[in-house]
Chain A
Amino acid sequence: MAKVFIYPATSLILSDLVARFGHKPLGAALGIRERIQTAGVDSPPLQITPEEPKRGLKYAAVEVPSGVRGRMAIYGPLIEEAEAAIIVTEADFAFGCMGCARTDELILFTLRQSGIPILELEYPRDEDEGIRFVAAVKKFLAGLEDGGEA
């Protein structure tokens, strides 16, 4: 079983796919709702304190906005722990969404720099693309150590 970082980190579908194929998803485990009554689309489920942006200094310098560093305090350790990653770009809000584009850039860069196997896919826009999307995810996960069928 490999530890697979998922992007968007809030995607329950991606998290479920990784788990179904026998691996451990690393993400925010937060559902995207039909209505948004919280501060952000990826409002953290845990109590973030002013300490998090300081911990985030490990991943981004002090001139980087505090919101980016606060997010990196959460996602940075997960990326360090990850043995593989699946990145879905241009995703629909309902699929999973990250609130800050600058953090997204840093997360994707850090993942690409880490040297772990990465599958990068565009979000599918129709049924055929959806089928190819799932097949690609399945193939990637099966190729990881100890990966298996759902």
Chain B
Amino acid sequence: MKKVRIAQLTCGAEYSGVQKEIYDAAESVGAEVFFPDIALGDVERAVKKFGLDVKSADLKLMIARAMALVEGKVEADGVFIGTCFRCAEAAIVRNELRRYIPENSKLSVVSYSFTERTTAGTLLTRMEALTTIARRRALLAREEQTGITMGVDSGSSTTKAVVMKDNEIVGTGWHPTTEVLKSAESAVSDALEMAGLTREDIQAIGTTGYGRFLIGKHLGAELIQEELTVNSKGAVYLAGHQRGASTVIDIGGMDNKAISVIDGIPGTFTMGGICAGASGRFLEMTAKRLGIDITELGPLAMKGMGKNVPMNSYCIVFGTQSLVNALAAGSSPEDVAAAACHSVAEQVFEQQLQEVDIKEPVIMVGGTSLIEGLVYAMGQLLQTEVVVPPHSQYIGAVGAALLASGFIKGE
């Protein structure tokens, strides 16, 4: 198979010791990273034309290379932009290029700020998404599920399975992720039972999420796909907004995804979160501390006033401290629940949503989208009505089942 060519625009990757990790991540998804070849003499000219007067030579080089890509002087299938974490000058360039390239070309872009601790594993899902968008555009264009297919989403907190038949969801299964394979088997059994079908009836299987490779191999899946493209597809499908622009937000148990989608295909996306304090994990902890089930947290938060409790879950430890202090000071569980929802939404807003262009509709998916207090807080921050489609907690499994139907024999 022809390798997908990803143009690398970075500053500091080699001296941070992560260049090998970037190569390894690309290699593992059948892509190759290359450095757009430009003349030294073109660098200053390009920087002047771009208009961002930075001092670091490697940032100037990034700008010149981005312009060469946009102007078609160098061909690529996707772009990886990376700079050192905590460098303000580099962050400005990274942000501007991430905006400039998709606005002026059809290239998909993923950006990342690395430290010396960045590994190929961290970069893998992002590289895989870039590769998928380049290699599987035809598959991602699919708007209708056909035949009988199953999607399994092996997430960090929960494992979800969905059975679809003729463009309808006919079975669902949901289990906490403990042992990856066992959790998947349980979710699959439940989904099949609800659908009144057996494993033999399934014509194609798609897997996604952290455990996608393991369960994909175990189930003999036709499609094993990272969650960025799969969730985008599932979100716009369930929201009935397959054409045009939209923004998908998935606050997961371990990390968050913010994806700017056009016609069901991710344009720019970010994935991550500084700390679990910006993820569903913090809400789980909050519910546990309040002595309620996670399903009760959302309605409880809707009755409270988040402003009454100072809370900043930038770090989950400090967030928990605020939580404990607030309760000890006599704050009501309602106010604490509302503050926790606001804090998580605020972290995602500040850390991730600044990195993608927010285009309406904003679609929230994943298990946390069922926590209405969180959806409300996000809507308040974005000043828009957030759409939560039906079956939003099964988004990855639905996306995988939808895309898997492209692998049914004869399709």
Q: Which residues of chain A have a CB within 8 Å of any CB of chain B? A: 32-44, 48-54, 63-71, 74, 93-94, 97-102
Contact B16 A94, beta carbon cutoff 8 Å: no
Q: How far in angstroms is the closest Cβ of chain A from B59?
A: 8
- The verdict on B121 contacting chain A, using a C-beta distance below 8 Å, is no
Question: A67: which B residues are within 8 A, CB to CB?
Answer: 11-13, 15-16, 84, 87
Complex-state Cα separation, A38 to B38, whole angstroms: 10
Chain B interface residue count, CB cutoff 8 Å, equals 37
Residues of chain B within 8 A of A93, CB atoms compared: 40, 43-44, 57
Is B136 an interface residue, CB under 8 A from the partner?
Answer: no
The 10 A-B residue pairs with the shortest CB-CB distance in the complex, in nearest-first order = A67-B12, A70-B15, A65-B84, A101-B55, A99-B58, A50-B17, A53-B116, A66-B16, A101-B56, A50-B116
Q: Given B12, B40, B41, B90, which contacts A70 in the complex, CB threshold below 8 Å?
A: B12
CB distance from A134 to the nearest CB of B (A): 23
The answer to whether B58 and A102 have CB atoms under 8 Å apart is: no
Q: How far is the CA of A94 from the CA of B39 in the complex (A)?
A: 11
Closest chain B residue to A38, Cβ basis: B35
Q: Which of B18-44 contact A (CB under 8 A)?
A: 18-20, 35, 37-41, 43-44
A34 with B14, Cβ < 8 A, contacts A39-B8, A65-B84, A99-B58 known: no
Given A64-B86, A65-B90, A70-B15, A40:B40 Cβ within 8 A: no
A35 to B54, CA, bound (A): 21
**Does B385 reach chain A (CB closer than 8 Å)?**
no
- B-side contacts of A68, CB under 8 Å: 12, 15, 84, 87
Q: How far is the CB of B258 from chain A (nearest CB, A)?
A: 24
B57 contacts which of A41, A50, A65, A74 (Cβ < 8 Å)?
A: A41
Smallest CB gap from B62: residue in A: A40
* Complex CA distance for A111 and B39, rounded to whole angstroms: 32
B318 adjacent to chain A (CB < 8 Å)? no
CB-defined contacts of A43 to chain B, threshold 8 Å: 14
